[in-house]
């Protein structure tokens, strides 16, 4: 991750470095780290008033020496925030049993901040982050601006940052720390330090690591296997039995440990890098402070230096520059004096602006020189919002029409790539039409952007980045690292509202973006984006990147406040490249088989239609519920219809099945017709249309922010509802086939939701049954109805199965009675027996509903919030509905979380094993793969392992695999 700068061939004359040669160093002083070390290293001393000041003294000495020795143009002192930081969110014990600081140290915290201000140096701190994270963030920013960085600290946790352009300096031992010193300490290069720490752990910070593994062993293992994931996925190959066992058992703990020690170099900077410039110290103020502490020897040194340099202490840092640190008496920054440089304590609302408040500076980029300016801007800010425009909504095959970028709010550009000649739409030759506009060839733009888009030190931000990620991947660019403002919003407020850009812009920025319709029209006259004139394209596309950046700026910090960083960073964000690859892979369909099925269905539909009309004695549209109801209930007088709230007759399958049972043949024939019509229109006809010419495959789109529970959904076409329950339907499944030489591999979780009920409600009897590997429905039947397993009947088992499902849905006597065809009274008796046998369940359900009422949301096992607005509704029906949702959402949502964890780990596990299997589809508890025939069994075992190991619970997770030439066979 080090050769980020200057790798692109096109970057020959580095204009940023040439014209603004700001190569002077930035010094980042680890204030929090220093104070502890100085306190323990230096003998106790006190001020005349008795205040202990030994650490303050050490700190002042250190700063003075630093400022005298170095030629830094910028210095900042960084502190921990007082409150908990984001690490406590996923590991509450982080730095937990640290004793409170010694009594003599406490008053020195504030004095050290005062000292920093007396030296006219900026103090940096940020709620939710440690000093180390801010140091990592500013080190990244400065290095990318081409400036040398020195971290003044001896903390080993910062050693991971050492590399080209970034060094450390130990102020206590007075010696530099470079890659050699890091290797000496950890036995690996700086970029592998976190992997070693993840294994070795750290008792001081309460980082658990893997028991029995110290730094030495860790270094040896990491050297052999490359990195932590490489080691963990090959743990079974370790020779020493005890070590192998520990690595397998504590794999998850090692992963958590790595996240604990890994510094976040993308913390929102509390103030711009440019603000950190060293100012001429206010010597009078400095001397005043030092005298007040009784540091006479230091005062003497300062005065000597002033004389030597011939400086006169007269507040030379005049006007604006002095304003932030010049409060008399060294008091804490006065809130009454608004500082133009901006304090860290600024209200969140002030961080953003209504779109209309800021001048929009949007630029059309039509040559490489202009593009390079934007690339330089991205390197300076380390942050780049990106949006792509295409001629279609299927990113697997769409043509890239343009790219927009934004580097700061209001500052955005659009790079047209494939815009045609203005109004010459319809593809007709028009010799009077204007020629195509000036555009940089796509290949050149990609070559120029690749370095930035793949630079680990530049964060790329998108809204629904999965789409853009796919387009760049098709152009040979693997965008990383990324943030997605849509997914941030989803993690924050899933279920509370939608997360599309337009909706979020209204909600958070009080701004209505230019509607797509206004640019491209609608319906038959709609044009593709490549036909849009450049001025309009610029206004629309640049605005998208601009809004994305503004939303990110506003929403990213809220993740920390809401303690939702872990959900976002471990469940949602990493899914973006994984799902992008799935969509891009697509799935092969047998078009001829579908066509034959369509033909067959068409013939049979005509037959059944005739039959229905014959029974009815008249011709009508069976597909019209209105006409059908009138025929059945008004004309034929079959029972008494009328049900729906709109006054219309209900003709759904339940009603028709009742009629069929009463012997009305027409009802069964309508049901047959409905089934055939559904299969034809939704599947056999539609799926043929969805086969992409370019790839010969179908590419669904998975929505990552559509559901209330954290599940994915699939659209255009929906491949999560392909028929399977009836024989007719399974014929459609057989049209989903593997490419030649390949097999389809389907692996699904067995009973995952019921297992999670047992886990989350902590139901002992149910957990035992799962641990014993019993037939869970038979086992619950035995326990609830008191029937011995050897006397179990299929009917009793069926009833228990229905109750088990009902629990997951937030059971009601009415619902269960309808499902089982029994009276609500009987159903209630069953439920009562169930809740008595599994008494923990009732406790959990009541607690969950109470939580929902109190907070307006429920949480999954992994911390995802599912908002349910109806929970306080005055209407009893709506409230009951929300209560059932409150029961269901944590169960369904936790299952979704676990599936996401598995999906995120699958590609790495496959790659590590050298497998060529490709993940194609997810259907909530099932994953579908396409895999070379010879590798199928191996891939099945591997993926099963990943899925079963995706969470460590009190109940086992079980996944079952099937292999076949088509999806029906594999399932």
Hey, which residues between 697 and 716 contact DNA (CB under 7 A)? Answer: 703, 706-709, 711, 713-716
Closest distance of CB 497 from DNA, Å: 12
The torsion angles phi and psi of 360, rounded to 5 degrees, stand at -90, 120
Per CB under 7 A, the list member of 297, 392, 512, 726 interacting with DNA is 726
725 binds DNA (CB under 7 A): yes
Contact pick of 183, 516, 809, 844 for DNA (by CB under 7 A): 809
- One residue of 421, 595, 636, 648 binding DNA per CB under 7 A: 648
Residues 326, 339, 480, 880: which binds DNA (CB under 7 A)?
A: 880
Residue 915 lies near DNA (rule: CB under 7 A): no
Question: Is 589:599 a contact under the CB 8 Å cutoff?
Answer: no
Containing 866, the helix (H) or strand (E) segment is strand 865-867
Among 47, 243, 563, 678, binds DNA (CB under 7 A): 678
Contact 757, 808 (CB under 8 A): yes
Q: How far is the CB of 676 from DNA (least distance, A)?
A: 9
Q: Which residue spans within 599-725 are E strands per DSSP?
A: 697-698, 701-703, 713-715
For the purposes of burial, counting CB atoms within 10 Å of the CB of 107, is it exposed (0-12), middle (13-18) or buried (19 or more)?
A: middle
Under rule CB under 7 A, residue 514 binds DNA: no
Contact string 432-471 vs DNA (x = CB under 7 A): ----------------------------------------
Q: What is the 3-state secondary structure (H, E, C) of 234-265?
A: CHHHCCCHHHHHHHHHCHHHHHHHHHHHCCCC
Nearer to DNA by Cβ, of 145 and 766: the residue is 766
Q: How far is the CB of 800 from DNA (least distance, A)?
A: 11
End-to-end CA distance of the chain: 42
Site for DNA in 884-903 (CB under 7 A): 884-885, 888-889, 892
Q: Which of 653, 793, 829, 952 binds DNA (CB under 7 A)?
A: 653
798, 818, 832, 855: which one binds DNA (CB under 7 A) = 818
- Among residues 339, 502, 881, 965, the one that binds DNA under rule CB under 7 A: 881
Of 53, 166, 383, 802, the one binding DNA by CB under 7 A: 802
Question: Which residues between 50 and 109 bind DNA (CB under 7 A)?
Answer: none
Cis-peptide, bond into residue 717, ω within 30° of zero:
yes
Q: Tell me whether residue 640 or residue 646 sits nearer to DNA (CB atom).
A: 646
Give the binding range for DNA (CB under 7 A) out of 89-97, 457-465, 721-729, 782-790: 721-729
Find all residues with CB under 8 Å of 453, minimum gap 6, and list them.
386, 460, 472, 477, 479, 480
Q: Exactly one of 407, 651, 742, 966 binds DNA (CB under 7 A); which one?
A: 651
Assess contact for 187 and 177: CB atoms under 8 A. Answer: no
Strand pairing category for 701-703 and 123-124: unpaired
> Which sign does the torsion angle of CA 779, 785, 786, 790 carry?
negative
Question: What contacts 524, CB < 8 A, 6 or more positions away?
Answer: none
Q: Kindly state the smallest distance separating residue 720's Cβ from DNA, in Å.
A: 6
Residue 640 within binding range of DNA, rule CB under 7 A = no
Q: CB under 7 A: which stretch of 38-46, 49-57, 558-566, 720-728 binds DNA?
A: 720-728
Binding status of residue 964 toward DNA by CB under 7 A = no
Candidate ranges 193-201, 429-437, 806-814, 839-847; the one touching DNA (CB under 7 A): 806-814
Q: Does 316 participate in binding DNA (rule CB under 7 A)?
A: no
Identify the residue among 924, 927, 950, 967 touching DNA (CB under 7 A). Answer: 924
Q: Does 619 bind DNA (CB under 7 A)?
A: no
Q: Helix, strand, or coil here: 403? A: strand
Min separation Cβ 620 and DNA, Å: 9
Does residue 491 touch DNA according to CB under 7 A?
no
Count of residues touching DNA (by CB under 7 A): 74
Inter-residue contact 908 to 233 (CB < 8 Å): yes
Provide, rounded to whole angstroms, the least separation between the CB of residue 755 and DNA: 13
Residues in 266-305 at the binding interface with DNA, rule: CB under 7 A:
none
818: Cβ–Cβ under 8 A, 6 or more apart, which residues? Answer: none
| Contact between 724 and DNA per CB under 7 A | yes
Largest interatomic CA distance in the chain:
114
Report if residue 811 touches DNA, rule: CB under 7 A.
yes
What gap in Å lies between CA 98 and CA 698, rounded to an integer? 56
For the CB of residue 757, give the shortest distance to DNA in the complex, in Å: 13
| Side-chain-facing half-sphere of 42: CA atoms under 13 Å | 24
Q: Shortest gap between Cβ of 556 and DNA (angstroms)?
A: 25
Residue numbers 536-595 binding DNA by CB under 7 A: none
Per-residue b/e over 545-567, b at no fewer than 16 CB within 10 Å?
bbbbbbbbbbbbbbbbebbbbbb
Residue with tokens 């140290």: 105
Burial of 327 (0-12, 13-18, 19+ CB in 10 A): middle
Cβ of residue 951: shortest distance to DNA, in angstroms? Answer: 17
Pick the closer one to DNA by CB: 94 or 867. 867
Please report how close the Cβ of residue 656 comes to DNA at its closest, in angstroms.
7
Beta strands in 423-576 (DSSP E): 459-462, 482-484
CA distance 376 to 163: 21
Residue 773 binds to DNA (criterion: CB under 7 A): no
Would you say 146 or 717 has its CB closer to DNA?
Answer: 717
Stretch of 206-214, 719-727, 857-865, 937-945 contacting DNA, by CB under 7 A: 719-727
325 is a contact residue toward DNA (CB under 7 A)? no
Instruction: Indicate which single residue of 402, 810, 890, 907 sits in contact with DNA (rule: CB under 7 A).
Output: 810
**Residue 644 binds DNA, judged by CB under 7 A:** yes
**Residue 625 binds DNA, judged by CB under 7 A:** yes
Among 926, 930, 968, 969, binds DNA (CB under 7 A): 926
Q: Is 613 in the site for DNA (CB under 7 A)?
A: no
φ and ψ of 123, to 5 deg: -95, 130
d(CA 903, CA 279): 51
Report 822-861 residues binding DNA (CB under 7 A): 824
Q: Which of 128, 281, 420, 806 binds DNA (CB under 7 A)?
A: 806
Tokens of 435: 């020629």
Q: Where are the alpha helices (DSSP H) in 70-187?
A: 86-90, 106-118, 131-144, 179-186
Q: Which of 223, 224, 217 is nearest to 242 (CA)?
A: 217
Spatial contact of 162 and 196, defined as CB atoms under 8 Å apart: no
CB 396: neighbour CB atoms within 10 A? 22
Closest contact distance (angstroms) between CB of 885 and DNA is 4
Q: How far is the CB of 831 from DNA (least distance, A)?
A: 8
679 binds DNA (CB under 7 A): yes
Q: Indicate the residue among 36 and 620 with the shorter CB distance to DNA.
A: 620
Nearer to DNA, 322 or 822 (CB): 822
Q: Are 784 and 800 in contact (CB under 8 A)?
A: yes
Q: Shortest approach of DNA to residue 117 CB, angstroms? A: 51
Q: Does 206 bind DNA (CB under 7 A)?
A: no
Binding status of residue 729 toward DNA by CB under 7 A: yes
Total length of the chain: 971
Minimum CB separation from DNA for residue 930, in Å?
Answer: 19
Confirm or reject binding of residue 791 to DNA (CB under 7 A). no
Specify the pairing of strand 123-124 against strand 926-932: unpaired
Q: How far apart are CA 870 and CA 852, in angstroms?
A: 10
């Amino acid at each position: 991750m080090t050769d980020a700068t200057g790798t692109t061939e096109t970057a020959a004359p580095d204009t940023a470095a040439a014209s603004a040669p700001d190569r002077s160093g930035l010094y980042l002083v680890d204030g929090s780290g220093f104070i502890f070390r100085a306190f323990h290293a230096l003998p106790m001393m006190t001020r005349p008033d008795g205040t202990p000041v030994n650490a303050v003294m050490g700190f002042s000495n250190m700063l003075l020496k630093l400022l005298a020795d170095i030629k830094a143009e910028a210095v900042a002192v960084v502190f921990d925030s007082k409150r908990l930081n984001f690490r406590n969110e996923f590991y509450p014990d982080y730095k937990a049993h640290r004793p409170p600081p010694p009594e003599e140290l406490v008053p020195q915290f504030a004095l050290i901040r005062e000292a920093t201000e007396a030296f006219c140096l900026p103090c940096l701190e940020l709620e939710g982050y440690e000093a180390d994270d801010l140091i990592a963030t500013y080190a990244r920013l400065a290095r990318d601006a081409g400036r040398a960085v020195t971290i003044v600290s001896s903390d080993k946790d910062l050693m991971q940052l050492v590399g080209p352009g970034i060094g450390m300096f130990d102020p206590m031992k007075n010696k530099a720390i470079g890659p050699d010193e890091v290797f000496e300490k950890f036995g690996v290069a700086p970029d592998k330090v976190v992997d070693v720490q993840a294994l070795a752990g750290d008792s001081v910070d309460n980082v658990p690591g893997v028991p029995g593994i110290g730094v030495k062993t860790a270094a040896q293992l990491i050297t052999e296997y490359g990195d932590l994931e490489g080691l963990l996925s090959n743990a079974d190959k370790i020779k020493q039995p005890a070590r192998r066992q520990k690595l397998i058992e504590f794999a998850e703990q090692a992963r958590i440990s790595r996240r604990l020690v890994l510094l976040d170099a993308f913390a929102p900077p509390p103030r711009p890098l440019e603000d950190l410039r060293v100012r001429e110290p206010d010597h009078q103020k400095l001397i005043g402070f030092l005298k007040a502490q009784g540091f006479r020897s230091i005062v003497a040194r300062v005065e000597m230096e002033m004389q030597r340099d011939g400086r006169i202490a007269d507040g030379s840092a005049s006007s604006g520059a002095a304003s932030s640190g010049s409060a008399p008496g060294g008091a804490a920054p006065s809130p009454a004096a608004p500082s133009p440089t901006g304090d860290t304590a600024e209200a969140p609302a002030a961080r953003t602006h209504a779109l209309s408040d800021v001048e929009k500076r949007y630029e059309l980029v039509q040559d490489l020189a202009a593009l390079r300016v934007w690339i330089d801007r991205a390197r300076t800010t380390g942050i780049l919002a990106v949006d792509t425009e295409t001629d279609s909504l299927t990113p697997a095959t769409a043509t890239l029409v343009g790219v927009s970028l934004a580097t700061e709010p209001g500052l955005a550009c659009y790079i047209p790539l494939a815009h045609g000649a203005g109004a010459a739409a319809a593809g007709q030759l028009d010799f009077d039409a204007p020629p195509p506009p000036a555009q940089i060839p796509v290949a050149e733009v990609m070559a120029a952007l690749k370095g930035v888009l793949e630079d680990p030190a530049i964060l790329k931000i998108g809204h629904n980045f999965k789409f853009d990620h796919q387009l760049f991947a098709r152009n040979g660019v693997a965008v990383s690292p990324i943030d997605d403002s849509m997914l941030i919003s989803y993690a924050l407020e899933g279920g509370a509202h939608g997360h599309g850009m337009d909706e979020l812009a209204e909600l958070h920025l009080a701004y209505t973006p230019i509607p797509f319709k206004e640019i491209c029209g609608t319906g038959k006259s709609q044009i593709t984006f490549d036909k849009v004139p450049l001025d309009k394209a610029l206004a629309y596309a640049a605005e998208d990147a601009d809004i994305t950046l503004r939303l990110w700026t506003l929403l990213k910090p809220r993740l920390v406040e809401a303690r939702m960083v872990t959900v976002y960073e471990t469940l949602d964000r990493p899914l973006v490249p994984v799902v992008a690859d799935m969509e891009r892979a697509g799935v092969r369909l047998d078009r001829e088989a579908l066509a034959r099925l369509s033909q067959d269905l068409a013939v049979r539909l005509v037959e059944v239609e005739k039959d229905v009309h014959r029974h009815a004695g008249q011709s009508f549209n069976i597909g019209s519920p209105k006409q059908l109801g009138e025929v059945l209930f008004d004309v034929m007088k079959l029972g008494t219809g009328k049900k729906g709230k709109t006054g219309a007759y209900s003709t759904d399958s339940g009603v028709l099945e009742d009629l069929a049972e009463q012997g009305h043949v027409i009802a069964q024939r309508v049901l047959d017709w409905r089934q055939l019509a559904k299969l034809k229109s939704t599947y056999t006809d539609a799926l043929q249309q969805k086969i992409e010419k370019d790839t010969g495959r179908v590419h669904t789109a998975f929505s990552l922010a559509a559901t209330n529970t954290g599940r994915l959904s699939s659209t255009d076409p929906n491949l999560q509802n392909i028929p399977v329950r009836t024989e007719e339907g399974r014929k459609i499944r057989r049209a989903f086939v593997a490419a030649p030489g390949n097999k389809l591999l389907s692996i699904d979780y067995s009973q995952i939701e019921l297992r999670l009920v047992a886990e989350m409600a902590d139901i002992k009897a149910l957990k035992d049954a799962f641990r014993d590997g019993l037939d869970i429905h038979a086992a619950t039947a035995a326990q609830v109805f008191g029937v011995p397993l050897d006397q179990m009947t299929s009917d009793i088992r069926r009833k228990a199965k229905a109750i088990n499902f009902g629990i997951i849905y937030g059971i009601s006597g009415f619902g269960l009675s309808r499902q089982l065809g029994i009276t609500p009274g009987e159903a209630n008796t069953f439920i009562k027996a169930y809740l008595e046998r599994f008494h923990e369940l009732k406790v959990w359900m009541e607690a969950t509903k109470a939580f929902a009422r109190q907070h307006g949301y429920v949480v999954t096992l992994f911390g995802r919030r599912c908002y349910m607005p109806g929970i306080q509704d005055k209407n009893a029906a709506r409230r009951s509905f929300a209560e059932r949702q409150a029961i269901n959402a944590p169960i369904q949502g936790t299952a979704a979380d676990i599936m996401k964890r598995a999906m995120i780990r699958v590609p790495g596990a496959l790659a590590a094993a050298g497998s060529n299997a490709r993940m194609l589809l997810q259907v909530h508890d099932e994953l579908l793969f396409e895999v070379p025939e010879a590798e199928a069994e191996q891939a099945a075992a591997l993926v099963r392992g990943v899925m079963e190991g995706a969470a460590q619970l009190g109940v086992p997770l079980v996944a079952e695999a099937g292999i076949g030439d088509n999806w029906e066979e594999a399932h």
